[in-house]
Amino acid sequence: MNSIGNLVRERREAFSADLKEAAKWCGETPNWLEDKEAMDDLAVADLERICRGLAISPTALLHGEGNTPTRSVSRFRSALENPDVLKPNDLRLLATASEIGLALAEVLSAQGKKSPFDQYRNLQAPSKRLQSWEHGYELGEAARALLAPQKGPISELECTLTQLGIHIARTKFSVPSIEAASIWESGAVPVILLNTDSTRVQYSLSRRAILAHELCHLLHDGGEAEIATRVTCEIGMCNWQEAIERRARGFAPAFLAPGRQIREWAKNTDPPPSDPAYLVYQLATHWGLSFEGAIWHAKNSELIKPEIANDLYASNIQTDMPMDQFERVEIGSPLLNAYPELRENLAPFMEGLAAELVVKALEDSVISLGRAKELLSWK
């Protein structure tokens, strides 16, 4: 039987992390961690510190669950076609997102609730009858009708996804080319990670497309029905050529601006835009798309001809896109205002839905203040 120290070492090595990097995750020195890895048993406080650093619950580590499908580091390596893009810290971020999703599910369960997202999950294999982008359009329009059936643009997409029970966390991956990642497993709260070093994440209109893209992964993708793990990179990097990535790129504009709605909008616009460039500009500004994204969406929705779309893209038109009507709500955790001791120790990773769920559980007396502090300091 493995000693606790051996289990810790195996978990660290699964991330390909050296003692220095893993010790930093634990908030300790390399010598401290090396000593712990040589021990047959550990004090509870030390075990909890180490498990927090290695993104696994103490119970799961002690029961040998570090190699199960949901907690194995190989799950997170497989999130990209080229796993070498993901550095040890990136793998840890993905594993941490998974653990947070499970922990939040436990918080909901203590209140007699469960994650609402599971009811929407619908695993879909890549279509054999449609091109990937066409399948994405089909799924995007269906998801819009189910999840956000209102007519017109979605002005606050991040709020909409949060209301669906998705925790959206901001963090930093090792390279700016990684834009976002999605983590889901049955019963857990789904998590989307946004890379704050990505230029497209910093720009609100392209961030909307990224969030809708990740929604497609959470709804429809996964190696098996009970697990979804995806990492999204910039065009030209990583796995963007994969069928499910092309599908998600089609899903995003179809969800944000359904074809039937935008064709009706274009028909009823007074006066109807006759210049294709102006039509694309109007489409982008009214529905919350980037100008480039609006070009291809207008083409795919048969508002402009393919050759015109190619010309518009090649012309590299520079436009000042008004953004003030979209994503105006600053995502935060207002319930924390009554708990300065929690706000003081709040980790950026937990800002948003996670913090709100924890505070509600605290107010319902189903978790202690100490447990709330422990959860909200997760980073």
Residue 123 lies in a domain: yes
Task: Give residue-wise pLDDT tens across range 260-299.
Answer: 999 999 988 766 667 888 899 999 999 999 989 999 999 9
**Is the predicted pLDDT of residue 378 greater than 70, yes or no?**
yes
Distance CA 354, CA 348 (A): 11
Residue 16 lies in a domain: yes
The model scores a pTM over 0.85: yes
Residue 241 lies in a domain: yes
Q: What residue ranges in the chain does DSSP mark as E strands?
A: 167-171, 178-185, 191-195, 227-233
Residue 155 lies in a domain: yes
Distance CA 43, CA 57 (A): 15
Residue 63 lies in a domain: yes
Residue 268 lies in a domain: yes
Helix locations, 111-258, DSSP H: 132-147, 157-163, 199-202, 204-220, 243-256
Residue 217 CB partners (closer than 8 Å, separation 6+):
182, 228, 230, 232, 244, 248
Contact between 209 and 253 (Cβ < 8 Å): yes
Final residue of a structural domain among 68, 95, 118: 68
Q: Compute CA 131 distance to the chain's CA centroid, rounded to the nearest angstrom.
A: 25
More confident residue, 329 or 371: 371
pLDDT of res. 70: 87
Contact between 14 and 73 (Cβ < 8 Å): yes
One domain for residues 285 and 305 = yes
Of 170, 192, 130, 148, the C-alpha closest to 287 is: 148
State the DSSP string of 343-372.
HHT--GGGTTHHHHHHHHHHHTTSS-HHHH
Residue 301 lies in a domain: yes
Task: Give residue-wise pLDDT tens across range 84-94.
Answer: 889 999 999 99
One domain for residues 297 and 342 = no
CATH number of the domain where residue 38 is located: 1.10.260.40
DSSP state of 317: -
One domain for residues 243 and 231 = yes
- Is the alpha carbon torsion for 293, 199, 158, 116 positive or negative? positive
pLDDT of res. 238: 61
One domain for residues 225 and 142 = yes
One domain for residues 229 and 293 = no
Contact between 54 and 12 (Cβ < 8 Å): yes
Task: Give residue-wise pLDDT tens across range 125-163.
Answer: 889 999 999 999 999 999 999 999 999 999 999 999 999
- Cα 60 to Cα 21, 40, 66, 207, 323, distances in angstroms: 22, 17, 7, 35, 45
Its domain, for residue 24, covers 1-68
Tell me the backbone φ, ψ of residue 270, rounded to 5 degrees: -120, 115
At position 266, the amino acid (one-letter code) is A
Residue 82 lies in a domain: no
Distance CA 76, CA 249 (A): 21
Distance CA 64, CA 101 (A): 20
One domain for residues 215 and 281 = no
- The domain tally of the chain equals 4
Of 18, 5, 95, 17, the C-alpha closest to 56 is: 95
**Is the predicted pLDDT of residue 63 greater than 60, yes or no?**
yes
2-6, 176-180, 350-354: which has the minimum mean pLDDT?
Answer: 2-6
The average pLDDT across 351-370 equals 95
One domain for residues 245 and 129 = yes
One domain for residues 144 and 235 = yes
Contact between 57 and 63 (Cβ < 8 Å): no
One domain for residues 135 and 204 = yes
